[in-house]
């Protein structure tokens, strides 16, 4: 049995403010030495994740834009589906709607419901940089979206928000809450993409054991789709407690951000023997 680690980025492997991962670097190097696939699974764009992969030093498949697509190096999977697209030494499995369609549906519903919505499609690179605390180049990469629209609603009370979200569902869109924005996508999520990726790995090398790490409600489907779920502690807005109620089987780290990520993955690797799923790691605790 092969171990595969699937991880969210912001607030999990990456610090939610600095976007750094230094506390996790020694464990990341250990993951690489052991040849364990590390699948980045994020609301970030493919362009953003490409940069992060280069910084970490990995070339494994990744899941982009909340499950909108799976991207893998050409040849990583010998049996890629016939419907996968191929370009620039990579294979892309598109699962979500085209970005233009997501934005059009979002704006149509917002106008019909008289809700003011501002998304990345409405914002300049400099506005995104200022709002997210990003350098201009990183903000430019964040704007290169293909399947997922980050947005905010203004002036909507809970009842109006509920009507708006219901109307979006009728249009075939899903909305998940991220750290700074709501995200509109097609009928996809991280969990569905993880399921597709599991099939690809198992067709390639037999049964796999998937461990998943996340810190927010948009990681719920990811954590439900893996064999071992870890919630990386997040102190913002009781996010950890809310996510733990949604995924009661998950473990919760003591530390937050990349330090918590390193804690969990180190314990996972310590208990992994390439044949049996790891025992419950004493370094983790259940949320109570």
CATH number of the domain within which 157 lies: 3.30.980.20
Domain co-membership, 201 together with 79: yes
Domain co-membership, 66 together with 117: no
Domain closes at, from 139, 170, 185: 185
Domain co-membership, 25 together with 152: no
- Residue 9 belongs to what domain range? 2-96+189-271
User: What pLDDT score does 278 carry?
Assistant: 52
- Residue 220: inside a domain, yes or no? yes
Domain closes at, from 166, 185, 204: 185
Average pLDDT over residues 102-131: 95
Average pLDDT over residues 3-32: 94
User: What pLDDT score does 281 carry?
Assistant: 39
- Tell me how far apart the alpha carbons of residues 50 and 86 are, in angstroms, rounded to a whole number: 16
Give the pLDDT band of residue 235 (cuts 50, 70, 90).
confident
- Residue 48: inside a domain, yes or no? yes
Rounded to the nearest integer, the mean pLDDT of the chain is 89
Domain closes at, from 185, 200, 225: 185
Domain co-membership, 208 together with 125: no
Contact present, 85 and 92 (Cβ < 8 Å)? yes
Looking at the predicted structure, is the pLDDT value of residue 86 above 70? no
Percent of the chain with pLDDT over 90: 75
Domain co-membership, 85 together with 195: yes
3-state secondary structure of 13: coil
- Residue 256: inside a domain, yes or no? yes
Domain co-membership, 22 together with 140: no
User: What pLDDT score does 280 carry?
Assistant: 42
- Residue 78: inside a domain, yes or no? yes
User: What pLDDT score does 103 carry?
Assistant: 97
Average pLDDT over residues 156-182: 88
Contact present, 175 and 184 (Cβ < 8 Å)? yes
Domain co-membership, 127 together with 238: no
- Tell me how far apart the alpha carbons of residues 208 and 118 are, in angstroms, rounded to a whole number: 41
Q: Which CATH number goes with the domain that contains 245?
A: 3.40.50.1000
Strands 208-214, 2-7: parallel, antiparallel or unpaired by DSSP?
A: parallel
Residue listed under structure tokens 């369609």? 101
Give the pLDDT band of residue 53 (cuts 50, 70, 90).
very high
- Tell me how far apart the alpha carbons of residues 106 and 153 are, in angstroms, rounded to a whole number: 11
Indicate the burial class of 192 (C-beta count within 10 angstroms; 0-12, 13-18, 19 or more): middle
Domain count of the chain?
2
For 8, the token pair is 């969210």
Domain co-membership, 66 together with 129: no
Domain co-membership, 60 together with 171: no
Q: How far is residue 223 CA from its own chain's centroid?
A: 10
Looking at the predicted structure, is the pLDDT value of residue 288 above 60? no
Domain co-membership, 104 together with 163: yes
Looking at the predicted structure, is the pLDDT value of residue 27 above 60? yes
Give the pLDDT band of residue 75 (cuts 50, 70, 90).
confident
Domain co-membership, 138 together with 114: yes
- Residue 246: inside a domain, yes or no? yes
């Amino acid at each position: 049995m092969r171990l595969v680690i699937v991880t969210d980025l912001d607030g999990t492997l990456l610090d939610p403010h600095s976007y750094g991962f230094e506390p996790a670097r020694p464990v990341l190097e250990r993951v690489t030495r052991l040849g364990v696939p590390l699948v980045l699974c994020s609301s970030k764009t493919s362009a953003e994740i490409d940069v992060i992969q280069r910084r970490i030093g990995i070339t494994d498949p990744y899941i982009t834009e909340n499950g909108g697509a799976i991207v893998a190096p050409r040849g990583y999977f010998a049996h890629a589906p016939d419907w996968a697209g191929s370009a620039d030494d990579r294979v892309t499995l598109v699962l979500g709607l085209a970005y233009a369609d997501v934005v059009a549906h979002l704006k149509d519903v917002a106008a019909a419901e008289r809700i003011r919505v501002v998304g990345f499609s409405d914002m300049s690179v400099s506005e995104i940089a200022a709002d997210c605390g990003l350098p201009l180049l990183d903000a430019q990469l964040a704007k290169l979206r293909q399947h997922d629209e980050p947005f905010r609603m203004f002036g909507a009370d809970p009842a109006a928000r509920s009507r708006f979200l219901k109307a979006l569902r009728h249009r075939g869109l899903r909305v998940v809450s991220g750290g700074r924005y709501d995200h509109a996508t097609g009928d996809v999520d991280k969990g569905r993409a993880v399921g597709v990726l599991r099939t690809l790995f198992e067709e390639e090398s037999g049964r796999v054991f998937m461990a998943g790490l996340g810190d927010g409600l948009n990681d719920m489907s990811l954590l439900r789709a893996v064999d071992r779920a870890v919630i990386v502690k997040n102190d913002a807005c009781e996010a950890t407690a809310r996510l733990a109620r949604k995924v009661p089987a998950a473990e919760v780290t003591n530390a937050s951000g990349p330090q918590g990520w390193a804690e969990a993955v180190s314990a996972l690797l310590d208990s992994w023997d390439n044949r049996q799923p790891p025992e419950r790691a004493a370094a983790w605790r259940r949320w109570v």
